């Protein structure tokens, strides 16, 4: 394997330039050149099928599936239905959110949650609504508030969260299976 690289000067902001931005592919070797005319040449015949770089996290496509889970893995997540008894704006949160108090009835009782659902919901419209939540995650501090359950929702086309709820009234504390 041959590797010949010439140094590409840093950008005016002081960060090094990414030579891969200037690639022109001529496999099995790749040539990169900066806007100053300096070039770098990579010759990788034995690994030509592998990518030269990984995209930044923001450029990566979301992973649709990871490794398969078993039914035992799914059963460890305790998803219950509860009724929102109180909802208040949460201005202290970094992202717009609403504080929820959800009654899961029976052994679980009332738990609190912070949900980023302000695009589609106002606090006063949530009281009395049934929602689904994961009740066996550890509590998580969000600013001055401790969220005890994870309220479940799905993103719409604009990125707003739509809450998951049963179609018909069910008893509080009912477990999703």
Span 113-130, pLDDT tens digits: 999 999 999 999 999 999
| pLDDT above 90 for 152 | yes
68 pLDDT tier (thresholds 50, 70, 90): confident
**Predicted local distance difference test score (pLDDT) of residue 155:** 93
Closest by CA to 80, choosing from 111, 116, 37, is 111
| pLDDT above 70 for 18 | no
Give the predicted TM-score (pTM) of the model: 0.63
Closest by CA to 85, choosing from 123, 32, 116, is 123
Domains parsed from the chain with CATH numbers: 2-57 (no CATH), 71-163 (2.40.50.140)
| pLDDT above 70 for 31 | no
28 pLDDT tier (thresholds 50, 70, 90): very low
**Predicted local distance difference test score (pLDDT) of residue 50:** 58
**Predicted local distance difference test score (pLDDT) of residue 172:** 96
User: How much is the mean pLDDT over the chain?
Assistant: 79
What are the backbone dihedrals phi and psi of residue 78, each rounded to the nearest 5 degrees, phi first? -95, 100
Helices (H), the chain: 71-76, 123-126
């Amino acid at each position: 394997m041959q590797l010949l690289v010439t140094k590409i000067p840093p950008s005016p902001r002081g960060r090094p330039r990414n030579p891969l931005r200037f690639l022109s592919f001529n496999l099995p070797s790749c040539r990169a050149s900066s806007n100053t005319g300096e070039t770098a040449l990579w010759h990788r015949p034995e690994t030509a099928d592998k990518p030269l770089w990984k995209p930044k996290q923001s450029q990566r496509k979301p992973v649709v599936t990871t490794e398969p889970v078993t039914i035992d893995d799914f059963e460890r997540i305790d998803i219950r239905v509860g009724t929102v008894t109180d909802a208040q704006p949460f201005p202290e949160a970094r992202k717009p959110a609403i504080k929820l108090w959800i009654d899961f009835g029976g052994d679980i009782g009332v738990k609190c949650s912070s949900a980023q659902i302000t695009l589609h919901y106002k606090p006063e419209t949530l009281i009395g609504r049934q929602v689904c939540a994961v009740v066996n995650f550890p509590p998580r501090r969000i600013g001055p508030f401790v969220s005890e359950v994870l309220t479940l929702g799905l993103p719409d086309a604009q990125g707003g969260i739509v809450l998951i709820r049963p179609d018909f009234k069910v008893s509080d504390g009912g477990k999703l299976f």
